[in-house]
Amino acid sequence: MIDQATQSDLTEICTLLLGMQGETSFAQLSVDLDRLVESVNYWLNSQQHCVFVDRRDGKIIGIFAGCVSDNWFSKDLTGYDIIFYIQPAHRGGIGAYKLAYHWKDWCISKGVKALRPATSTGADCGQFYERLGFKPQGKTYLMEV
């Protein structure tokens, strides 16, 4: 079941995101728990951000956090993803599609002109986004220093 997350979900969301961070190309970065809580708390309370969660048996097993923002050259709004994650044991179902559609609908309700999800975690989500109607736009690169 997809719900908009609330403040009461904060601890469970942060625990889920700690698991996600360890699976991604961001795993080499340190985790600051205060910063994590601050970020999620901000998203939960901002009109420019959304946090949707997928619940199974009362537990959060997936999340999609996104935002809308204007651009440096225009006041037109664009929708961006911040976090998109499904626990490994729950991948392959329709939860990811439902989360993405909730984000898309929320962005449209905010008046966006475009949606720009990105993948910078090392996960290959290209086919997933293309099945939803997105077209590839560039690449993400990484240099560890």
Binned average pLDDT, 10 residues per bin, the chain of 145 residues: 96 94 83 96 97 97 97 96 93 93 97 90 75 85 78
Domain boundary assignment for the chain: 2-131
Euclidean distance between CA atoms 132 and 145, whole angstroms: 35
Burial of 96 per CB tally in 10 Å (0-12, 13-18, 19+): buried
Helix H or strand E segment including 113: none
How many other β-carbons are positioned within 10 Å of the β-carbon of residue 128? 16
CATH architecture of 2-131: 3-Layer(aba) Sandwich (3.40)
